[in-house]
Structure 1
Amino acid sequence: HDKEVERYLIQNTLWWIGTTGLDGMRMDTWQYVPNSFWQKWTAAIKREFPKFRVVGEVKDGDVVHTSFFQGGKVRFDGVDSGLDSLLDFPLFYPIRHVFAEGKHLDLVPKMLAADYLYTDSEILVTLLGGHDDGRFMSEKGATIAGLKLANTFLLTTRGVPQLYYGDEIAMTGPDEPTTRKDFPGGFPGDKRNAFTRAGRTKEEQEVFEHIKIMTRLRGELEPLRRGRLVNLHASAQQYAYARTSKVGTVVTVINNDTKSGQIEFDVSPLKWVQGLVLIDRLGVIKEVRVSDGKLRVVLPERSAAILVPR
């Protein structure tokens, strides 16, 4: 609460933004500084740079606790912090539990059901890896198939996805020091160069190609970036949801089970007509057709389909 320190931090932030031309900033350990300061800090930034965006790190899996810190409304402390977005750690942990450890997939939609606690859940930064946690592939039970499913979900659900370097080649590292180790390649003397296809193993290439496809689809299919999230079906190991916008609708269906599964679900909320034919942009299944307001999808073990009208 020192006024001189407050003034210095605000002026220093404005100097860095003005000097570098930054569009946004990730602010570490947001919850350990009083909201009364953040209100002044964000107000000063918005006054000088109205389009500047701030993402705060509140590393906590409790959605009630984490959502408190997003700005846009006055909270119980009488303060609107002005914070635009947050790293979505409440969703991060279910993603790990489900797709690495094989726990029930319905943990994910159950967490998403708490989105009403945020002032704007659409701009939360979603993630499955970061520099403060062991890597996904070092979780108990993690597999290449699980990593691919986790990225499929990350790149099709609501929010702004953050991809952590090395996860695109399934790097391992069980703790904070090892999760920050160098990416293989790019420097003289490196034993291999994973920036090139020749420098990647078969499994690394499999993950790399999958994420390449997923990022391309996210760029190509506008609803995956800006569409409203509509949950259609959730069970122990299957999940179906849509992203729908004025441009169109995309449905993602995930089977997290270790055996093939049939998923039948109601699509009447999407107002799709009888007989509409849908194709899978991942090529996992053949085309499916809307029948009596429902879709019936059969997916192989640990796989997903991204369905769009033909």
Structure 2
Amino acid sequence: MKKLLFLLSLFFVTSLYAQVEKVEPTFWWVGMKNPNLQLLVYGKDISKNQVSINYPGVKITKVNKVANPNYLFIDLSIDSLVAKAGKFNITFLQNNKKFATYQYELKAREQASANREGFNSGDVIYEIMPDRFVNGDTKNDFVKGYPDGTDRLNPDARHGGDIQGIINNLDYISSMGYTALWLTPVVENNASSTSYHGYATTDYYKVDPRHGSNELYKKLAEECKKRNIKLIIDYIVNHSGKDWWIYKDLPSNDWINNYPDMKICNFRGTTVFDPHKAEIDAKGMSDGWFAESMPDLNQRNPFLATYLIQNSIWWIEYAGLSGVRSDTHQYPDKQFVSEWAKQILAEYPHFNMVGEVWLNYPSMTSYWQKDAPNLDKYNSNLPTIMDFPLHNAIPTAFAEGDGWGDTGMNRLYDIFSQDFLMANPMNIMIFGDNHDTSRFYTLIKEDFKVYKLAMAFLLTTRGIPQMYAGTEALMTGVKGSGDGVMRKDFPGGWAEDKVSIFTRQGLTNDQIEALDYMKRIQNWRKSNEAVKYGTMTQFAPQNGVYVYFRIKGDKKVMVILNNNNDKQELQTIRFAECLGNHHSGTDIISGNALNWTNKIEVPTKSAMIIDLN
């Protein structure tokens, strides 16, 4: 009899919960600056219910119904002076009778969570595409219910890299001098094929089990902190994947632009700020689908907008993150992305966010940086942008000789001369390559001398340097071959690999030298305040030689880039305004102590990073 009563009670409780299939955010915290929380509740005909909560400090301010009866959006107000961390029931009633309950939790925040420091120009960011880095747990190579399994012979399939593989190699990352870690998305991408890249989300609150779990992602963040590495999430507000559970049963059709029909984006990024634009072109940019498999989200829908903002904050708070990289940042509704960034920074004032703004001129990218002096008064509230104009200029600058105008080293000089357009030139992400471009060593035609020049440049000029995993060991790849082909596996990340960057087994002499070169400069950079935070003074290139200084207080670094096939002698009188009374220094690259009276000799096709004494 007791067993029967237990089974009946278990069935009763289970049936009550069965009416509520999902609640998102899955939990929240007390003590957030914004006291408001909106819960998305999903279940069969859930909108037929009344809702009640009886928990001190938590009050329902509004229950919102939408076109689809399977959704409710419950607006809560959380009084942090009264509400305590704990669990409480959300009760759903029909005709004043209990229909279902759902237990919700408010957690306590980590101490000083709001004051976390974001990544900045003092960091060197290491980008990893997890599926292509290290397979640290072969048990998750194939997961039931996830059809896109591991096949290393197929460039567009998953190859098995995961979060555990990253954790296992954090010591390598730290030893190389990297101080921040950007992972391409690790949230669930449960598509039938080509899901390895992570940019077609199917569950915004769940790490893809082929990468690991939410708990393992949080452990990664904790292990990063032990090594003074900041973790950056890659977030997409522009689009989802077609297999997103919400897309399969939309709250209302206006959650998706051009639904149920699909229109591909016109990719006209300039329409966002063009004062002469045609509205049809602007709409084709903001409302077009990025790809057929990626429905374009309509952030003008207030429930979707709140959903995306809360989800971003949820991951930052849950995992203890130090930054956000915003994918396809110029494509969504621009008023929304401004509000999105504003609300995140309101919760975390010292945080940082960088946007992928893939435009070719500083006059275009500058529009997207927080507090830019835009003619239309638009403020993106986005602190950092990616410097695609500089990325485009670097390979050509080192490949050609100086001539009249903006050739050779003048290309670099001219990019920086346009920093007057930027609200904060030091807060710009600079890079040679990433997962969306051809490999840097390929872009420079595998010229090792140019590689060393360019890496010295990226690690000492203004901005926040970002390196793509494998660039430190001269990995190659051509964008035109297809993304899957270009995004090669990191050598040494799989047990069967014959070549390993980690152990240096099977590497060429140039690869080993490149690793040592990057390690030396990046670790020196950690403790050099002038290079990390100092002002920059550049001298117009002459005879293929580009010189600039980084200065902070009495700390000075002189950088000389000789892009000639002959050695050069520099007359120091030209640099007197920065050199002052300095007549000696240490070349960080060679380790040599230098002394000069009136000239400095620079070896052929090489860089000198002189820490002035």
Do they fold alike, i.e. is TM over 0.5? yes
What displacement does 1:233 show?
4.2
Moved more, 98-107 or 247-256: 98-107
Other structure's SS at 1:197 match: coil
Find out whether 1:197 has 2:507 as its counterpart.
no
Cα distance per residue 1:188-237 (max 9 Å; x no partner): 21122221133422110011111111102212322111110011341252
Cα distance per residue 1:84-114 (max 9 Å; x no partner): 1011111111112123566611210111101
Find out whether 1:235 has 2:542 as its counterpart.
yes
Find out whether 1:53 has 2:352 as its counterpart.
yes
Regions of 4+ moved over 4 Å: 100-103
Partner residue, 1:300: 603
Find out whether 1:177 has 2:448 as its counterpart.
no
Compute the TM-score of the two structures, normalised by the length of structure 1: 0.92
What displacement does 1:238 show?
0.7
Partner residue, 1:217: 524
Specify which of 140, 153, 157 is matched with residue 457 of structure 2: 153
The answer to whether the 8 A contact 1:99-1:147 is kept is no
The answer to whether the 8 A contact 1:100-1:139 is kept is no
Specify which of 576, 580, 587 is matched with residue 280 of structure 1: 587
What displacement does 1:267 show?
2.2
Partner residue, 2:393: 94
Q: Partners of 2:602 and 2:558 in 1: how far apart?
A: 14
Q: Partners of 1:24 and 1:153 in 2: how far apart?
A: 24
Q: Partners of 1:67 and 1:108 in 2: how far apart?
A: 17
Cα distance per residue 1:112-137 (max 9 Å; x no partner): 10111110010111100111111122
Q: Structure 1 residues 262, 272: CA separation in 2 closer, same or farther (over 3 Å shift)?
A: same
**Runs (5+) with no aligned partner, structure 2:** 1-299, 402-406
Q: For the aligned residues, what is the CA RMSD? A: 2.0
What displacement does 1:284 show?
7.8
Q: Structure 1 residues 74, 256: CA separation in 2 closer, same or farther (over 3 Å shift)?
A: closer
Q: Structure 1 residues 7, 220: CA separation in 2 closer, same or farther (over 3 Å shift)?
A: closer
Q: Partners of 1:14 and 1:276 in 2: how far apart?
A: 51
Q: Partners of 1:198 and 1:188 in 2: how far apart?
A: 13
Find out whether 1:107 has 2:411 as its counterpart.
yes
Compute the TM-score of the two structures, normalised by the length of structure 2: 0.48
Find out whether 1:72 has 2:371 as its counterpart.
yes
Q: Partners of 1:271 and 1:203 in 2: how far apart?
A: 34
Report matched runs for 1:249-264 at 5 Å.
249-264=556-571
**Runs (5+) with no aligned partner, structure 1:** none
Other structure's SS at 1:157 match: coil
Find out whether 1:40 has 2:40 as its counterpart.
no
- Greater C-alpha radius of gyration: 2
The answer to whether the 8 A contact 2:452-2:607 is kept is no
Moved more, 57-66 or 255-264: 255-264
Other structure's SS at 1:220 match: coil
The answer to whether the 8 A contact 2:369-2:382 is kept is yes
Other structure's SS at 1:121 match: coil
Aligned residue pair count: 305
Cα distance per residue 1:149-189 (max 9 Å; x no partner): 11000001011110111111101101133331111112221
Q: Partners of 1:284 and 1:95 in 2: how far apart?
A: 26
Amino acid at match of 1:54: M
What displacement does 1:290 show?
4.8
The answer to whether the 8 A contact 2:530-2:552 is kept is yes
Cα distance per residue 1:233-277 (max 9 Å; x no partner): 41252101100001410101110112222233522222612x732
Percent identity reads: 31
Which protein is richer in helix relative to its size? 1
The answer to whether the 8 A contact 1:284-1:304 is kept is no
